[in-house]
Amino acid sequence: MVNTSKSKYSFLLIAAAFMWLKTYIVYKTSFDIKIENFGQELILLINPISFLLFFYGIGLFLKEKNRNRYILGASFVLTLILLANMIFYRFFNDFLTFPILFQTNNMGELGGSISSLFQPADLLLFVDIIILAILMRRSSSKSEQRTPKREKKIYFLLSAAMLFLNLGFAEVARPELLTRSFDREMLVKNLSLYNFHIYDGLIQSKTFAQRAMADSNNLTEIENFVKSSKKKPDDNLFGVAKNRNVIVVSLESTQSFVMNRDLKGEEITPTLNKLAKESYNFENFYHQTGQGKTSDAEFLVDNSLYPLGRGAVFFTNSDNKYTATPELLKQEGYSTAVFHANNKSFWNRDLMYQSFGYDKFFDINSYKATPESSVGWGLKDKEFFQQTADLMKTMPQPFYSRALTLTNHYPFDYKPEDKMLPDAGTSSKTVNNYFQTVRYEDEAVKEFIKKLKENGLYDNSVIVFYGDHYGISENHNAAMEQVLGKKITPYENMQLQRVPFMIHIPGVTDKNPKNIEEPGGQIDIRPTLLHLLGVKDQNRIEFGHDLFSKNRFPFTVMRDGSYVSDKYIYTDGKCFDRKTGQQEKDPKQCEVYSERAKQELNYSDNIINGDLLRFYNQKE
């Protein structure tokens, strides 16, 4: 009897122990989970146990001959979950969510990036599966016996006790943990990767219900908050670009640290450096994207709403009602279009652009792309800009357009003939290649400006350049420290989230350029641009502000709840002096702003998940 009982549980416990050890090793080697004390390390160590005991324990409801097969299959599934998160984390520094898993349309396009992120050592994750298969084969049982009810009760009570112990420790370490669904690292660190995915699934179900239950009353509180936060814009700049064409250029993966920087005596971005001196240039401008990356940046630019903390709005809420920039400008007599030499369904753009009110989407089928003119993710930037300028010439004027570049995209592939800089010589191939592709992108921008002049579009346009998101993730901090010549602290990492943003108005900014040092973000692009175009703010629901407003409180919120204000940078749970980078001894100085950041994110999420703008549009 004793031997039978031991046999019954030994295979289960061995499998659970293997997975527990494997998960902890992945935590420590593949994820950058920040540990500040022994208590947090202890929580990280024990947090997979309760889930693993429960998940493997389901096998106790099966007959003995099928129990081991279930346990082996469970180990294989959990290993795939680990592996998928590892690969995703290597570039995005984030964990997978259900909305991301639903983005199957993107998988074909992402193939090259995923294969470059896979490492041969990843196959070691399956060693325990092989061992378990051998053990199962040697101890194969054909018994029809089931586990007695009393034993199952004791087992699951133990599993529940471990869960409550884990939750107790987590609540002490991080009060109100489950209200911070945007902080995925915190959830994984305290609840385990597996419990995080269960929680994420519950949140996904909640968002479906939120839209069904929403009504116009849900919008009133948000409207009042937005109205009370707005500041009077600068009347002197109202309409300085009125009736001009608008060309908004998304600079793929371009971060501000490359500007005004040399690589072994060679200027990295000579064109952008020159443009910055002839434009309204914003030195401390931050990307605010989440898991949707480029598509999140597009959402921010056209709606002045925050992207979601999970997945991409372009996928999860493409059928929402929006009051986007193209819709607003069409009321001012503008034609509208997007130019992007990629598959129209990538990031669900074909459907989302319809929701935004765009007249035309010039996708890859509008371009002439050959193997010689393509690299990495598609058409090279020089060819893209040349053809885009010609396509713009066919549009009714004035027009509002957005153009999205591709070449400076991970894994930053380039052709030998496009190399324009010496090798950076860092320990990371990704970082070394990045300098080459960003230099190529800069040269393509130079040729774009020239082509716009040739086509007669330059003088009567306002040209906006912005970086969409980071290009170099935290996984390459060691190489970046070689480039920057200093250690990358949480403060320095936040500084690396700055991206270029400049508004170039020929005949205006070249005569009277402005350099703005106050912090801002992508959410501010729409109100700033519309004011320059002479479009009045008729109580639009947006969280951004006119960056030229003299009464504006500089406050830029990141999707993870971090923020930058005029005095402070709050990131990674720490408060820093914005100008000196010194950590504040009393973090309470940041708490009041942290609550406001959380409030803005929650309000924006409510608008999107509840599709609340449908009520605003009906009212209008």
Which residues are known catalytic residues? 294
**DSSP-H helix ranges across 339-427:** 349-356, 381-393
- Report d(CA 373, CA 380) in Å as an integer: 6
Q: Are 501 and 205 in contact (CB under 8 A)?
A: no
Q: Evaluate whether 407 touches 444 at the Cβ level (below 8 Å).
A: yes
Cβ contacts of 446-451, under 8 Å, gap ≥ 24: 446/270, 446/271, 447/382, 447/385, 447/386, 448/249, 448/385, 448/386, 448/388, 448/389, 449/271, 449/275, 451/385, 451/386, 451/389, 451/390
CA–CA gap between residue 541 and residue 527 (Å, rounded) = 11
Give the list of residues 6+ apart from residue 241 with CB closer than 8 angstroms, or none: 462, 505, 508, 532, 533, 534
C-alpha span between 216 and 334 (Å, rounded): 30
Quickly count: other Cβ atoms within 10 Å of residue 70's Cβ.
Answer: 17
| Strands of 349-428, DSSP E | 360-362, 374-375, 378-379, 399-404
Match 């004027």 to its residue by tokens. Answer: 397
Q: How far apart are CA 520 and CA 498, in angstroms?
A: 10
The b/e string for 297-310 (b: 16+ C-beta within 10 A; e otherwise) is: bbbbbbbbbbbbbb
- Helix, strand, or coil (residue 375): strand
User: CA of 400: how far to CAs of 339, 403, 445, 506, 569, in Å?
Assistant: 11, 10, 18, 16, 34
The one-letter amino acid code at 153 reads K
3-state secondary structure at position 122: helix
The distance in angstroms from the start CA to the end CA of the chain is 76
Q: What is the dihedral of CA 7, 12, 13, 19, to 10 degrees?
A: 150
